Amino acid sequence: SSGINAEYGDIKSRKESPPTEKIIPIFPFKTKCRSHQFPESKVPFIDSHCHIDYLFVREQNYGSFASYVESKDFPKNFSGCVANFCDPPAWGQYRMYEDILDEDGVWGAFGLHPHNAREWSPQVEKNLIRACSHPKCVAWGEMGLDYGKDYKQTSPDVIELQKDAFIAQIKHALRLKKPFVIHARGAELDAFEIMKAKAPKDHRIHFHCYSGSWNTACKMLEYFPNMFIGVTGLVTYGTASDVREVARKIPLERLLIETDAPYMKPSNASTVDQDSPRSASPAMGLWVAAKIAEIRRIELDDVLIQVRKNVKNMYGI
């Protein structure tokens, strides 16, 4: 095609986007970095996708995010995170997100995860719209489709419910002028077709935790010039050859680094935070960045500098 070369990853520049504003390094957290096992860099790093609510439940943390950071292994260049709230209780009656977003260095995104598609209702819709009016909400999501083999509810009826909830959320996000955070596992092409039909080409999109093929990624990146592909700790797993291919070929200006914490702890971070051996934390995006730098045979700082600009372009933070 004219804009893309599927072998070498020659993808069009994002001409529709304005030049990136100057980014002022901000480090709002006290960090101990007790293990000294993180890759060394002074470039500010923001985890573009995590789940602080799930992390706190798993870690039985009842304090603030700032106190959590101070008590754990976090590198000194950790600058914050985008916390995704995709479970109805998180933005329902108790609004637990309000305390989390009240802290410096934490922004939010709200959406109904496809696993919860059966729960889509007028009340859920109302609660989501209210949550997305929060001044620190930077996107709608994660939302989308999930046909994963380990997700048992993929009957035709459930898939239709997922699609209905996805389309409804796209409409609300567009009305509220919110970027999308997309979850599409084993359903990349179906999600792509829905977005092509329902969203303008220049909309900002974070395709979260991408695990599909490079060929499919190429098609989406060419069609949506303001789409970013999110790479998680999955890139460090020996079985994730498709993800490593994407990490090697994607232009850096279209890449976001995320942890999806508390899930997918990077395999190269095994020596970090050994009192929580199962959980990823937002700090561990540095290990994802280090693996990408290794795959691409470039310096870690080169990855982090460009990805920080991409977070600014995607989320305005």
Q: Over 80: is that where the pLDDT of 91 sits?
A: yes
Token digits for 202? 């220049």
- Distances 161 to 57, 116, 121, 158 between C-alpha atoms, Å: 28, 10, 11, 5
User: Torsion angle, CA of 34/39/40/46, rounded to 10 degrees?
Assistant: -90
pLDDT score of 34 = 55
The mean of the pLDDT values for the chain is: 89
Range of lowest pLDDT (21-30, 55-64, 109-118, 134-143): 21-30
Q: Peptide bond preceding 142: is omega within 30 degrees of 0, i.e. cis? A: yes
Q: How far is 276 from 284, CA to CA, in rounded Å?
A: 13
| Secondary structure (3-state) at 257 | strand
Of 254 and 37, the structure prediction assigns the larger pLDDT to: 254
- DSSP for residue 201: T
The crossing angle, in degrees rounded to 10, of helices 214-223 and 241-249 is: 40
Q: Where are the alpha helices (DSSP H) in 144-258?
A: 156-175, 188-198, 214-223, 241-249
pLDDT score of 92 = 80
How many helices (DSSP H) and strands (DSSP E) are in the chain? 10, 8
Render pLDDT for 210-224 as a digit per residue (tens, 0 to 9). Answer: 999 999 999 999 999
pLDDT score of 8 = 36
Q: Over 80: is that where the pLDDT of 306 sits?
A: yes
Q: How far is 32 from 27, CA to CA, in rounded Å?
A: 13
Reported confidence tier of residue 269, pLDDT bands at 50, 70, 90 = confident
204 burial (CB, 10 Å; 0-12 / 13-18 / 19+) is buried
- DSSP for residue 140: E
Q: How far is 147 from 188, CA to CA, in rounded Å?
A: 9
Q: Where are the alpha helices (DSSP H) in the chain?
A: 52-59, 65-71, 97-101, 122-131, 156-175, 188-198, 214-223, 241-249, 285-296, 300-315
pLDDT score of 283 = 92
Q: Over 80: is that where the pLDDT of 93 sits?
A: no
Q: Over 80: is that where the pLDDT of 4 sits?
A: no
- Distances 308 to 81, 245, 275, 313 between C-alpha atoms, Å: 12, 22, 29, 9
Contact 278, 265 (CB under 8 A): yes
Reported confidence tier of residue 161, pLDDT bands at 50, 70, 90 = very high
For 8, other C-beta atoms within 10 Å of its C-beta total: 8
Mean pLDDT of the region 214-242:
97
Reported pTM: 0.90
Q: Over 50: is that where the pLDDT of 7 sits?
A: no
pLDDT score of 148 = 80
Mean pLDDT of the region 232-260:
97
Percent of the chain clearing pLDDT 70 (strictly above): 84
